[in-house]
Amino acid sequence: MLEARDVRVVYEGGFTALAGASVTLAAGRVTGLIGPNGAGKSTLFGVLAGAVRAAGGEVRLAGEAVTRHGPVWRARRGLARTFQLSRELASLSVLENVLVAKPAMSGERLLSLVFARGAVRREEDAAHEKARALLQRVDLWKLADVPAGSLSGGQKKLLEICRALMLDPRIVLMDEPSAGVNPTRIGEIVEFVKALREEGTTFGLVEHNMGMVRALCDHVYVLAEGRVLTEGSFDHVIADTQVASAYLGAQA
Ligand X SMILES: Nc1ncnc2c1ncn2[C@@H]1O[C@H](COP(=O)(O)OP(=O)(O)OP(=O)(O)O)[C@@H](O)[C@H]1O
Binding residues vs Mg ion (CB under 5 A): 42
Nearer residue to Mg ion within complex by CB, 42 or 178: 42
Are β-strands 79-82 and 171-175 bridged in parallel, bridged antiparallel, or unpaired?
parallel
CA 232 to chain centre: 21
The entry of ligand X, Mg ion, none that residue 17 binds, CB within 5 to 8 Å by partner kind: ligand X
Q: Provide, rounded to whole angstroms, the least separation between the CB of residue 45 and ligand X.
A: 8
Nearer residue to Mg ion within complex by CB, 102 or 157: 157
Longest CA pairwise span in the chain (Å) = 57
Q: What Cα–Cα distance (Å) separates residue 237 from each residue in 27, 110, 221?
A: 21, 46, 8
In single-letter form, the type of residue at position 134 comes to L
> Which of 148, 156, 147, 93 shows the shortest CA–CA distance to 122?
93
Nearer residue to Mg ion within complex by CB, 42 or 97: 42
List interacting residues with ligand X (CB under 6 A): 11-12, 15, 17, 35, 37-43, 84
Q: Provide, rounded to whole angstroms, the least separation between the CB of residue 220 and Mg ion.
A: 16
Q: Provide, rounded to whole angstroms, the least separation between the CB of residue 136 and Mg ion.
A: 31
Nearer residue to ligand X within complex by CB, 46 or 147: 46
CA atoms in the 13 A half-sphere facing the CB of 183: 4
